Structure 1
Amino acid sequence: MVKTAVQAKFERNLAQYRFFNTQETVVLAVSTGIDSMVLLELFLRLPPKRRPKILVAHVNHELRDQSVQEEQFIRSFCDQHHLDLEVTHWAKAKHPASGIEEAARSFRYHFFATLLQQKHARILVTAHQANDQAETMLMKLVRGGQVAQLAGIANQRKFKDGYLIRPLLNVSRTEIAQFAHENKIKWFEDETNTDLSIQRNRFRQGIIPNLQTENPAVVDHLIDYQRQLVELIDFADNQLRGIVKQVNNVKRQLNLDLYQQLEQTTKRLVLSYWLEKVQLVTNLSQAQLGEMEQLLDNRNKPQTRLKLNDQLELIKQYQYAWVVKIGPADISTAIIPATVLKLNHWYSSSVHESIGIFAPNGELDKQKDCQVNIMWLPSKAFPLQLRRWQAGDVIALKNGHHQQVRRVLIDQKLNNAQRQDQLVITDQQGNVIWLVGRKFAWWERPLDYQDKWQQVAFVRRFIRGE
């Protein structure tokens, strides 16, 4: 038997995968349309020493009366050729009222994944061909999005624990039809292919034929563009992977100091790559990327956050940025009422720390995991209170000066959550004595303060984890 051009192209494509041996089980998705029946025939024509074990997978979508004939046909075909066959039905009762194409696709691929697992197979093969690729590229071009999406359908990709391959992706519909007619291959024409309410059919029946009147080789040119685009994307990915590795820390946070040193064009590419590959954020628009660029570049807003969608949020805190899932508000950030502090009592300030005021004694200094600060206070300062800081709070400095608590927190580079949880101890007039863990106020003492004032110890006790 003379090997045809289609057969030679098919076998060259298969050779690049290097997956097959005679002991390998390969699942072939066969709808009984012309593309999948040609794919099946090409596998049957492989030399015995190169032909894997073939498992035909067929889905009866129960969308039209012809589905019954198609199932009977593929059963008979597999019997005649001694092929293993698995058939499943997508019951009409499970058909959705809308979005039926996507639902059908989801059902098919779930079935294929199940078969791979059950049969201990690694390879799924589909019959997508060059015109499918051209249609996909043009639809994505019209729809808009990321440039990488114009690469269309990959000739192979990871699928569950194995691979999905498409060995006809550079074979045109015309070549496939010619091969089918010359070899008297029987197939069924899907009646829905003429339904112009389906976008792909409008491209298939109208837009691409019109383009072919301008240039009959338009599909070949689109496939060539696709190959070039894939090569450029692969090259860019390799370059970006190295840059992102440098600007991304072990916590998967973007180091903004390093990021800002990049050229403007590189920054956008790095940001897009970091979001998709590191933070696993996809389907962002160019407008969203532009908004993020402005946010990360804005030095006047060292801390801010940007909602990306209903589930994710970008957080910027000083020199780092990262993406988090949006969850219910943390109740620990709720404003608590002021608490009057009793002498020699501990108060929990966080899960890792307790604080209190104590009568000074030598035993305090001997306690492990404690930080002790001694201070003299006038009697009018008592009772002391513990509360969260407020917008108008200031802390007294030497020489009668004051500093806003907000400025202290900014200077110490606390993030928004830390700021919101920051505690202060005040006197009974509301003056800040201790910005807990950060800074003490300055008190001007009279000459006889030791006779009239009270000495107290402000203590932080650190609680070690298990």
Structure 2
Amino acid sequence: MQNEFRAHVRRLQLWPAGTPVLVAVSTGADSMALLDLLAHLPVTLRPQINVVHVNHQLRAASVQEAAFLTQYCAAHGWPLYQTKWPVAAHPQHGTEAAARQFRYTFFAQVLQQHRIPVLLTAHHADDQLETMLMRLIRGGDIQQLTAIAPTRPFQQATLVRPLLPFTRQQIRNYVTQRQLTYFEDKTNQDTALTRNRLRQHVVPELKQIQPLAAEHATAYAQQLQRLLRVNQHQMDALLIASGHFLTPGYYGELAAWQQMTTDVRYLALTRLLTRLLVATGNPVKQRQKNELLQLLQSERPQGQLALAGTWQLVKSYHYFTIAPRPAAVVTPNFELWPGTTIQAGPWQIGLQAATQALPTGSACLEVWLAPAELPLIIRHRQAGDRLPLRHGHQKIKRILSDKKVPQQEREQLWLIATQQNLVLWLLGIKRSQLFNPQQTDKIHYRLIIKKQTS
């Protein structure tokens, strides 16, 4: 096995000779075999070995295992970094996942503190088969069926699994041949855990049918990883051609997306969600993905869907965005008295007597107002707002839809209303068409509007 391991390391160029590596060692057969194989690489391939160990304090034997590893590393001159998982931190449920989280957090700390660029773990072909089976029965995205990657980024380092081509039996044969000391984890016999049930019952049956089941699983994972890498490259190019990335988020041209075939649109959206959400720890359920696709394909001009965290998709006529929802900003209302001027967003708004000269470059609305209607209120639109016309009223929501004003812009629009909520002007969109004959109880004013250009 040493020759095969040596050829594997050389072929994939897993690390330059002399590179510091951090080897995760549990003292089980797999990690002890990995240590021995690394130690017996030729100088032209051998890394600089550092060892990391976590005592999870879940078994009494863990004290003996830690003591053994301390002596073993000292005898070989390898630095050893170890810690304990506090018993008080053990959860009542989900112990396996919590232990893994603690373990890998410690690995990351050691890598960063000692500037070690590579982390090695002893995952092998049988682990690959078990992981693929677990993810297959659990369901989810096809990318998860790639199971355990030979290498992947980990924090600021690279996580490498150099034993993936080798089966559990090959490793056990090597340990026996080399007479290596190792410790069996008795919890591996607990069939209450899904992985152990697969290991004890399902995998042996599969190997009865096909002895090379583990090797075939590794080969399929490699093929799928290659296909997905090519797909990711193509989808990234398509995403850029059909829109552009925001900081953070994405802006997509609907015309370009709707010209894609159904399959391509699905793959493009999957890649986009992976880059934006999954990569930042925000899961996306298949149901949500289906809803997003349905909204993008539908004839509805506008719509939005909430995603994980604060992320959301907003569709608006000719484009859509996937981005975090902006924080709600509470904008105060303004009061406009005769003879005063107010600045609301880009708008300069004044109310003056009709006898005064109209400023150049301004728009004007003639209004007759009673004292009870003052001061005028400058605010954002509200549900149910209507604009008076010569023959009735028109809902402002309908006006905005007819003019295809995007939803995000609608929330920023300003309007002017009386104290009785009679809307006089939806700024930048439409003004009211009031029929105001001269009345003795009202005063003739002019609303003066000017937009400031940046």
- State TM-score, norm by structure 1: 0.85
Contact 2:336 2:351 in 1 (8 A): yes
Q: CA deviation at 1:358?
A: 2.7
Q: CA deviation at 1:402?
A: 6.5
Amino acid at match of 2:306: K
1:296 aligns with 2:296: yes
1:272 aligned residue: 270
Q: CA deviation at 1:355?
A: 1.9
1:368 aligned residue: none
Q: CA deviation at 1:391?
A: 2.7
Deviates more, 1:125-134 or 1:386-395: 386-395
Q: Measure the CA separation in 1 of the matches of 2:372 and 2:124.
A: 83
Contact 1:341 1:383 in 2 (8 A): no
Aligned length: 443
1:357 aligns with 2:348: no
Q: CA deviation at 1:324?
A: 3.9
Secondary structure at the residue paired with 1:364?
coil
Amino acid at match of 1:295: L
1:147-162 aligned within 5 A: 147-162=142-157
Q: Measure the CA separation in 1 of the matches of 2:252 and 2:74.
A: 58
Task: Select 1:45's aligned residue among 16, 37, 40.
Answer: 40
Structure 1 residues 56 and 88, CA gap change in structure 2 (3 angstroms): same
Structure 1 residues 327 and 364, CA gap change in structure 2 (3 angstroms): closer
1:263 aligned residue: 261
Q: Measure the CA separation in 1 of the matches of 2:228 and 2:335.
A: 63
Secondary structure at the residue paired with 1:253?
strand
Secondary structure at the residue paired with 1:456?
strand
Structure 1 residues 324 and 49, CA gap change in structure 2 (3 angstroms): closer
1:410 aligned residue: 401
1:209-248 aligned within 5 A: 209-248=204-243
Q: CA deviation at 1:171?
A: 0.5
Structure 1 residues 44 and 347, CA gap change in structure 2 (3 angstroms): same
Amino acid at match of 2:185: D
Structure 1 residues 204 and 267, CA gap change in structure 2 (3 angstroms): same
Structure 1 residues 225 and 89, CA gap change in structure 2 (3 angstroms): same
Q: Measure the CA separation in 2 of the matches of 1:119 and 1:421.
A: 51
Q: CA deviation at 1:153?
A: 0.5
Deviates more, 1:57-66 or 1:134-143: 57-66
1:436 aligns with 2:434: no
1:372 aligns with 2:362: yes
Instruction: Deviation per CA, 1:290-344: give whole Å up to 9, x if none.
Output: 11111222223x2222122354332222222223445765433x9x6xx774222
Deviates more, 1:227-236 or 1:18-27: 18-27
Contact 2:277 2:284 in 1 (8 A): no
Amino acid at match of 1:274: L
Structure 1 residues 17 and 380, CA gap change in structure 2 (3 angstroms): same
Contact 2:385 2:423 in 1 (8 A): no
Q: CA deviation at 1:39?
A: 0.3
Unmatched tracts of structure 1, length 5 or more? 1-5, 366-370
1:191 aligned residue: 186
Identity of paired residues, percent?
Answer: 33
1:309 aligned residue: 308
Q: Measure the CA separation in 2 of the matches of 1:51 and 1:324.
A: 46
* Cα RMSD after superposing both structures: 3.0
1:393 aligned residue: 386
Contact 1:357 1:458 in 2 (8 A): yes
1:110 aligns with 2:109: no
2:78 aligned residue: 83
1:286 aligns with 2:286: yes
1:20 aligned residue: 15
Q: Measure the CA separation in 1 of the matches of 2:369 and 2:363.
A: 18
Contact 1:21 1:52 in 2 (8 A): yes
Structure 1 residues 59 and 406, CA gap change in structure 2 (3 angstroms): closer
Structure 1 residues 69 and 401, CA gap change in structure 2 (3 angstroms): closer
Deviates more, 1:258-267 or 1:435-444: 435-444
Instruction: Deviation per CA, 1:206-238: give whole Å up to 9, x if none.
Output: 110011122222112212211211121112112
Task: Select 1:10's aligned residue among 5, 9, 16.
Answer: 5
Structure 1 residues 427 and 38, CA gap change in structure 2 (3 angstroms): closer
Secondary structure at the residue paired with 2:449?
strand
1:67 aligned residue: 62
Q: Measure the CA separation in 2 of the matches of 1:120 and 1:321.
A: 43
Q: CA deviation at 1:419?
A: 2.8
Unmatched tracts of structure 2, length 5 or more? none
Contact 1:389 1:423 in 2 (8 A): no
Amino acid at match of 1:74: L
Structure 1 residues 23 and 229, CA gap change in structure 2 (3 angstroms): closer
1:119-134 aligned within 5 A: 119-134=114-129
Structure 1 residues 458 and 313, CA gap change in structure 2 (3 angstroms): same
Secondary structure at the residue paired with 1:83?
coil
Secondary structure at the residue paired with 1:54?
strand
Amino acid at match of 1:394: L
Q: Measure the CA separation in 1 of the matches of 2:3 and 2:452.
A: 73
1:318 aligns with 2:317: yes
- State TM-score, norm by structure 2: 0.88
Contact 1:340 1:383 in 2 (8 A): no
1:196-211 aligned within 5 A: 196-211=191-206
